[in-house]
Amino acid sequence: MQAEVKSLNEECGIFGVWGTPDAAKLTYIGLFALQHRGQEGAGITVNEDGQLRTKRGFGLLTDVFDSPNAVADMTGTAAIGHVRYSTAGSNLLENIQPLPFNFSDTQFALAHNGNLTNAISIRKNLEDRGAIYHSSSDSENLMHLIRLSRANNLDDQMKEALNTIKGGFAYLVITKDRLYAALDPNGFRPLVVGQLPNGAYVVCSETCALDAVGATFKFDVQPGQLIKIDDSGITIDQYTTDTQLSICSMEFIYFARPDSDIYGVNVHSARKRMGEMLAQEQPAPDADMVIGVPNSSLSAAMGYAEASGLPYEMGLVKNQYSARTFIEPTQELREQGVNMKLSAVKGVVRGKNVVLVDDSIVRGTTSRRIVKLLRDAGAASVHLRIASPPLRYPCFYGIDIQHVRELIAANKTIEEMREMFGCDSLGFLSVQSLIDAVDLQTDAPNKGLCVAYFDGKYPTPLYDYEAEYDRDQAQLQKMR
């Protein structure tokens, strides 16, 4: 629908494999390891003897593939898959990926992680020329550009199309006889290649999915690369050489799984170093213990504890079934102390001065709730430490941080936030320490990290979002 064409930024996970039996099953298992990257939709396209077949739906993988046969029936030797996080408005089945395309004489399917910054312009332009889009997703643009290309072969059509789109993207495109993988010129999103024991190539968002399927890591896909995998092997090409690494720092801070490595850096270890540096920059000398918000902040909490010499404790327990429930406590019940997702361990925190480590703060509502939870459980004091810098600017490359007015740190001072959260002290990690904690081995700006949501310095033009960004900043000025 019209209103939905605009806000299609998303974070997602992708997985592809070429040349092995059980391709769909391996894709399911790989996506299962990437489920944290998207829980609102999932799909798999399988290639069986050159015919593509797609199954996709809303919810978790286990909602879409809800019986043992759901995957087993998808026989074939190549496949791509997608798990999707989406903003509220765009809940159309047509937007769930892989997006399948059937032509009189051929078929395609594509899966995309990222956000295009010139999607609206391209779509309007092509629609004026008669194009009909299936979805309201920015991802679909690539297919139209490929088909409209006048280049002589599919490789060149891909390159022409990839050079037209802008923004953050890791793309998988499967056809009857090949699998393409492509990364944007800044490498905003992670993408890795591995190999199964039988020699088949796998390409996916994170190394944890390689581990899950028993594949060996081969290399990180580089900015501007176009990889082609077919029955004759793998071909690595550049569709552009105008590249500069600027990988999303939120992948290291929050998004990726701790057991994944990105450009050679283990995510858990990077987070632990963030915690260590945080302990140095923002000490809490009188505290009795360090606890982390489960599960994403545990690594940073361990690092803080180790660097500060304070004991690391289990002061919060997360309900392991909370991935989904249709029933939520009402506001009234919540105020009576009802809590379904997180519990404070009274026996641990009662009477203690607690350092609470969290990975990041977006709106601040969760922080306030957790601080209250600990106080209600008897904590004597709560010192909140955030293992990343304050989030102040939107992301246009694939993470759902769209509206500055929703970012608490864009609107309030540290002291205002501390008061709002009800904690005894509050401290953030500095941008430089974040960069040093990740410590990518590159001489690109910010050591190859995108930190634009912290400092507002975007590594590319914003294209269709330029006006929106200006409007948001103006609104923010007024609010201050």
Q: Which residues are catalytic?
A: 12
Each residue of 376-402: b (16+ CB within 10 Å) or e? Answer: ebebbbbbbbbbbbbbbbbbbbbbbbb
Residue listed under structure tokens 């360090």: 290
Pick the piece of the chain touching a second copy (CB under 8 A) from 182-190, 228-236, 334-342, 419-427. Answer: 334-342
**How many residues interact with a second copy (rule CB under 8 A)?**
94
Name which of residues 206 to 265 contact a second copy (CB under 8 A).
Answer: 208, 211-214, 257-259, 261
DSSP state of 19: S
Instruction: Summarize the annotated binding site as residue ranges.
Output: 296, 358-359
Q: Which residues pair with 42 in a beta bridge?
A: 57, 83
Give the Å distances, CA to CA, from 343 to 292, 300, 332, 375, 379: 13, 20, 18, 12, 13
Pick the piece of the chain touching a second copy (CB under 8 A) from 27-35, 109-117, 379-387, 465-473. Answer: 27-35
| 38, 41, 42, 65: residue in contact with a second copy (rule CB under 8 A) | 65
DSSP state of 355: E
Name which of residues 192 to 211 contact a second copy (CB under 8 A).
Answer: 196-197, 208, 211
Burial of 364 (0-12, 13-18, 19+ CB in 10 A): middle
Nearest distance from C-beta of residue 379 to a second copy, angstroms: 14
Give the Å distances, CA to CA, from 2 to 128, 165, 352, 456, 462: 15, 21, 54, 29, 22
Q: Output 70 or 444, the one with its CB closest to a second copy.
A: 70
3-state helix, strand, coil in the chain (%, to 5): 35, 25, 40
Name the 3-class secondary structure at 40: coil
According to DSSP, the β-strands at 107-116 and 99-102 are antiparallel
Q: What is the DSSP string of 174-212?
A: EESS-EEEEE-TT--S--EEEE-TTS-EEEES-HHHHHH
Name which of residues 266 to 325 contact a second copy (CB under 8 A).
Answer: 266, 268-269, 295, 298-299, 302, 306, 311-314, 317, 319-325
Q: From the CB of residue 92, how many other CB atoms can be counted at a distance below 10 Å? A: 16
Name which of residues 66 to 85 contact a second copy (CB under 8 A).
Answer: 66-68, 70-72
Nearest distance from C-beta of residue 143 to a second copy, angstroms: 6
155: CB partners within 8 A, 6+ apart: 226, 228, 237
Nearest distance from C-beta of residue 178 to a second copy, angstroms: 17
Q: Output 73 or 416, the one with its CB closest to a second copy.
A: 73
Q: Output 29 or 284, the one with its CB closest to a second copy.
A: 29
Q: Output 133 or 469, the one with its CB closest to a second copy.
A: 133
Nearest distance from C-beta of residue 303 to a second copy, angstroms: 11
Nearest distance from C-beta of residue 359 to a second copy, angstroms: 14
Instruction: Summarize the annotated binding site for Mg(2+) as residue ranges.
Output: 296, 358-359
CA distance 183 to 113: 10
Name which of residues 31 to 50 contact a second copy (CB under 8 A).
Answer: 32-33, 35-36
Q: Output 253 or 395, the one with its CB closest to a second copy.
A: 253
Nearest distance from C-beta of residue 476 to a second copy, angstroms: 28
| 86, 97, 136, 360: residue in contact with a second copy (rule CB under 8 A) | 136
| 105, 242, 415, 443: residue in contact with a second copy (rule CB under 8 A) | 105
Helix axes 141-148, 119-128, angle to 10 degrees: 50
Give the Å distances, CA to CA, from 129 to 116, 132, 144, 309: 21, 9, 11, 66
Name which of residues 339 to 398 contact a second copy (CB under 8 A).
Answer: 339-340, 343-348
Q: Quick check: 106 binds a second copy (CB under 8 A)?
A: yes
Q: Output 202 or 417, the one with its CB closest to a second copy.
A: 202
Q: Output 70 or 476, the one with its CB closest to a second copy.
A: 70
Nearest distance from C-beta of residue 468 to a second copy, angstroms: 16
Name the 3-class secondary structure at 155: helix
| 48, 59, 75, 120: residue in contact with a second copy (rule CB under 8 A) | 120
